[in-house]
Amino acid sequence: MRLCCAQRHSRDTISTDAMHPLLLIQTGEAPDALIPRSGGFADWFRVAMRIDAAQMRVVRVDAGEPLPEPRDVPGAIITGSAAMVTERADWSERTAEWIRDAMDAETPLFGVYYGHQLMAHALGGTVGWLPAGREIGTETITQLVEAPDVHALPPSFPAQTTHRQSVLEPPSGATVLARSPRDPHQLLRYAPNALSSQFHPEFTPEVMRAYIEVRVETLREEGLDPDTLLADVRDTEAARLLLERFAHAALTRQRVAA
């Protein structure tokens, strides 16, 4: 599947006649302080993808919920988490096995943050602590290679970030599509229909500010300036469109196949 084929759907919620909903593999939840005003992970992803609630099925793998067969879903998005891939939790390793099965089935996949690291780990890459230290705030993401299946993103674009671990070594055969100043592996492609991003395309500027605000003391202890980070938070429409177009491409592919 060439993901760019869905660009014509990028601004409107697509029809709800899809046979099966997209799968959101939820690996954690937003900080408690954010949920009353901003909602949780599932809300953020659904809104960012511009799809209806009926077009998305949520499975909380971190709570032990079982995953469907990869061939039974049009595509899957793997969320972030406060957990660490390096902890090798049972639920995480089971999800890694599911990812390998999904790759064999050519199920479209998009991993974000923890999902990015878990995809890389599942496919033979190495995950660990980011050598440059925590990355948080709106960062500039720079493309490294031309990639038509990444929807003609600009050569550089802003994206929201917050992480301490990252992909240290991508899996064999993966292509590094983009980097940030602190993280050389911000966007990976494993197959034409399988991508992952360390940055958060589902974050709004409001969510990014909230993440900074709930970590003010920790950031100061680490030598970061929360006031500067807050002042630099920007809109990240290009990054969000990457996720939206993936979702619409997966649903469109399902309708065409039917």
Encoded tokens for 97: 């096995």
CA distance 258 to 245: 20
Condensed to tens digits (0 to 9), the pLDDT of residues 185-213 reads 999 999 999 999 999 999 999 999 999 99
Condensed to tens digits (0 to 9), the pLDDT of residues 101-134 reads 999 999 999 999 999 999 999 999 999 999 989 9
Condensed to tens digits (0 to 9), the pLDDT of residues 217-257 reads 999 999 999 999 999 999 999 999 999 999 999 998 776 55
Condensed to tens digits (0 to 9), the pLDDT of residues 25-54 reads 999 999 998 999 899 999 999 999 999 999
Is residue 181 within 8 Å of 140, Cβ to Cβ? yes
57: pLDDT strictly greater than 60: yes
What is the structure's pLDDT at 147? 64
Question: Kindly report the CA angle at 256 between 241 and 244, in degrees rounded to 5?
Answer: 10
Cβ neighbourhood burial of 175 (10 Å; 0-12, 13-18, 19+)? middle
4: pLDDT strictly greater than 80: no
8: pLDDT strictly greater than 60: no
What is the structure's pLDDT at 16? 47
11: pLDDT strictly greater than 50: no
Q: Tally the domains of the chain.
A: 1
pTM, to two decimals: 0.90
Condensed to tens digits (0 to 9), the pLDDT of residues 146-177 reads 766 666 688 999 999 999 999 999 999 999 99
Percent share of the chain, pLDDT over 90: 84
Domain span including residue 10: 3-257
CA distance 176 to 184: 8
What is the structure's pLDDT at 145? 82
What is the structure's pLDDT at 255? 61
Question: Which CATH number fits the domain that encloses residue 178?
Answer: 3.40.50.880
Q: Of 161, 126, 142, 115, which Cα lies nearest the Cα of 23? A: 115
